[in-house]
Amino acid sequence: MLNESRRTLACLAALLLWTGTGVTAMAAETPIGWQTLKGAAPLVIAHRGASGYRPEHTLASYALAIEFGADFIEPDLVATRDGHLIARHEPLLDETTDVGVHPEFASRKTTRTMDGKAISGFFASDFTLQEIKTLRAVQPNPARSKQYDGQFEIPTFEEILELLTKANAGRNRPIGVYPETKHPGFHLALGLPLEDRLLTILREYHLEGRDAPVFIQSFESANLQYLRGKTTTRQVQLMDEGALEYDATGQQVIGVRIADHGDRRGDKSPTSLADIARYADAIGPWKRQILRDTGASSLLRTRLIEQAHAVGLLVHTYTFRNEPATLAPQYQGDPLQEYRQIFDLGIDGVFSDFPDTALEARRRHRER
């Protein structure tokens, strides 16, 4: 009711400012308010940095996202053989580095079981940090330019926080960091648990605690439950494509399924949004879990955002990209239309490969 009142007041303000030949600039800038959990503007989270423009998870990608003005930068973290946390989307190095052209590492290719599947390739956990530093990042997305291939190192989490510390010097509102622990059950089985090392580093940089500009995220739940017993830092339960069960209408969430892949550090796997709210502050669903593609002429709106808000959970959704092939046909190749729709639904944050586009969409929405 309060949000509807805000919209009504905004419309009345626009009418009162009518000049007879058009609406004044003041009316055009009248904000309509946000439908988010706390009434704040939705966060723009730079997904793997500004990864639409630079190879993902490089200092260059994070620096560009910071330059654009993103609210958070998002590093995915995996462990090296000697226990260092580095930024890679997966424990596998094959698609995002030039490891394949290093003959000295040819014998490191192996097959490991990850999340119940046998996978072959070069795993970061079979390399020391010193060896990782001889590799260079490459663009894994065939739709994007490869002009920066081979130019950038693989950064450690500490190097990312050093970059962020320098960028935040003198800022009233610091840019935050949004680390993801990648495949924690896999790393735990290798004797390379990610969580305590992550907390140690965050504390070294004074980035730990409820009020810190930090969200810790994971697709698994046991490690987040473990972390909740050690820190008050905000946490996000990510949700893969099969994580939610809907009722017969396809709109109401009636169950949650989160896999933990052998990690037994949690009390129990959650089966509802209320269960998640006991250890997390937000959920991170795929955008098609909010606006479902049923093959019809329009996307089916679910009640996920409202249901999450009802139990006190923020909703940060992934992943927004500019390439027309990544957009539903309803948006006619215009990413701004996609942001506009998701902002109207009250989303609390968006993960974007193109944070500048997300920020522009937010600015336009604020001025509607």
Distance from C-alpha of 28 to C-alpha of 14, rounded to nearest angstrom:
7
110 and 137 in contact (C-beta within 8 Å)? no
- State the helix-helix crossing angle for 157-168 and 195-204, rounded to 10 degrees: 30
| CA neighbor of 163 nearest in space, from 45, 62, 49, 53 | 62
- Please give the C-alpha separations between residue 298 and each of 97, 291, 318, 333, in angstroms, as whole numbers: 39, 9, 20, 15
Active site residues: 47, 89
Q: Nearest 5 degrees, angle CA 51-CA 242-CA 339?
A: 45
- Please give the C-alpha separations between residue 285 and each of 121, 218, 237, in angstroms, as whole numbers: 28, 11, 8
- Please give the C-alpha separations between residue 282 and each of 37, 126, 218, 305, in angstroms, as whole numbers: 10, 33, 11, 11
For tokens 């009434």, the residue is 39
Structure tokens belonging to residue 115: 């999340």
Structure tokens belonging to residue 54: 């630079």
